[in-house]
Amino acid sequence: MEPILQVNGLTGGYSPKRPVLHDISFEVKAGEMVGLIGLNGAGKSTTIKHILGLMKPQIGEVKVDGVTLEQETERYRSAFAYVPETPVLFDELTVEEHLRLTGMAYSVQDKHYEAREDELLNQFQMMPKRKAFASHLSKGMKQKVMIMNALLAEPPLYIIDEPFLGLDPLGIRSLLERLVEVKRKGAAILMSSHILATVETYCDRFIVMHHGKIVALGTLEDVRQAAGMDLRGGSLEDAFYKLVTGGQA
């Protein structure tokens, strides 16, 4: 089965003369969660922007659901949902109206929409706020709306960037439980986060980026091996620090 997300030989950035990314390649398959980790400035956000189609590769290509953005724009864009680090909502729309707008954008059938909406509002403790305008929500509540929008769409691919910022403990638990569920149903998930213990617990494979390059890729054992560690022990955090500090944990 073809991977849901394929990044092939991607070199890119803001200037052709000074690329941020250098020949990176990875994939995310159906039914797996892959953690994208790295220090600030490692190239994670630039990678995500290329996947979203906000930046055009200088070399290489990105495929979602088997097509590039240029080949089939509508199919490409409808195949993923994105949860950004900073919530972006319409101030004059209510929580419920945001969900309805997402349902329309992703052509969610009415018979599925009502059940998904109620389930998500209850799971993320947002039912009392369903009629509240976005401008009246806290940052954590706004983040919950972004997450609910993504989960409502049920696309083949989820791209999630630092999702835990601003969430309360119940919100974090609800999100992780839901991600496990959608992964079990066959969704592919690319999640960028600095909370390495959570990434290690929930992700199947890992992409470690440093200075715009992939320095380790694969299972925890693969990452340990790339870091020159004993394969029988050591956390993702231990391996990560070795990789980005030149072997000095």
Q: Which two tokens stand for residue 10?
A: 């991607």
Question: What is the pLDDT averaged over residues 12-32?
Answer: 94
Position 2 scores a pLDDT of: 86
Domain ranges of the chain: 5-79+155-244, 90-154
DSSP string computed for the chain: ---SEEEEEEEE-S-TTS-SEEEEEEEE-TT-EEEEEE-TTSSHHHHHHHHHTSS--SEEEEEETTB-TTT-HHHHHHTEEEE-SS----TTSBHHHHHHHHHHHTT--HHHHHHHHHHHHHHTT-GGGTTSBGGGS-HHHHHHHHHHHHHHH--SEEEEESTTTT--HHHHHHHHHHHHHHHHTT-EEEEE-S-HHHHHHH-SEEEEEETTEEEEEESHHHHHHHTT--TTS--HHHHHHHHHTTT--
Please write the tens of the pLDDT for every residue from 63-73.
Answer: 999 999 999 99
CATH of domain 5-79+155-244: 3.40.50.300
In percent, the amount of the chain with pLDDT more than 70 equals 98
CB-based contact 157:77 (threshold 8 Å): no
CB-based contact 213:22 (threshold 8 Å): yes
Question: What is the pLDDT averaged over residues 189-206?
Answer: 96
Position 247 scores a pLDDT of: 61
For residues 7 and 64, what is the distance between their CA atoms, to the nearest angstrom? 9
Please write the tens of the pLDDT for every residue from 112-151.
Answer: 999 999 999 999 999 999 999 999 999 999 999 999 999 9
For residues 47 and 34, what is the distance between their CA atoms, to the nearest angstrom? 14
Question: What is the pLDDT averaged over residues 85-99?
Answer: 95
Mean pLDDT for all residues in the chain: 94
Q: Which two tokens stand for residue 190?
A: 């690319």
Question: What is the pLDDT averaged over residues 180-205?
Answer: 96
Position 249 scores a pLDDT of: 45
Position 230 scores a pLDDT of: 78
| Cα 14 to the center of its chain, rounded Å | 21
| pLDDT bracket for residue 200 (50, 70, 90) | very high
